[in-house]
Amino acid sequence: MTSELLDRALVEEATKKSGLIWVQGGVSALDGDAQGAPARALWHVWHEGAACVVGDGPGEQPLPGLVDGGDAVVTVRSKDKGGRIVAWTAKVVETAPGSPEWEGAVAELKGKRLNAPDGDEMPERWRRECRVLRLEPQGTTAPLPSDSQAARPVPTPATTRRPIPAALPRLLRRKRR
């Protein structure tokens, strides 16, 4: 019983303090037997005993593999060093828009959402176009893996690398003189 309480406290404290969690949906157990999507980094808030996330709408984070009633594995990293602290299984619960659970989670999420294009209209957009999920801890924590678990990045149309403009080297040389 004491071990279970310590695990629960570790999950809560680590998840509260981390601004980013890695979530893999469609996972049947902590051994990594995944039928779903690869793990994704998600921003979240800890609210009433669960990690709450919003996504799957225009301009919001994707939530592939996270289905209502399904399982997920959540890996929490250290906010300062970025290393893994704890991994735990979660039950995915989709909150109904307008319900007290949804309203409470959205109030917390709204305060943490960075660079929102619509400010005060954001909760209404989330109600229409997004899903708000609770990742509720189940059972105990898992031992952390000994390998790096590095994986190829998920394909995306976003890019930061483009060819430099042809005139840029000349412009930079001119400024040095």
pLDDT averaged over 10-residue windows placed end to end, the chain, 177 residues:
86 92 76 63 95 93 93 90 90 95 95 85 94 93 80 76 82 72
Q: Identify the domain containing residue 157 by its residue range.
A: 2-176
Tell me the one-letter amino acid at 103: E
CATH number at residue 101: 2.30.110.10
> Between vectors from CA 75 to CA 122 and to CA 82, what angle results, nearest 5°?
90
pTM for the predicted model, two decimal places: 0.80
3-state secondary structure 64-93: CCCCCCCEEEEEEECCCCCCEEEEEEEEEE
Count: domains in the chain: 1
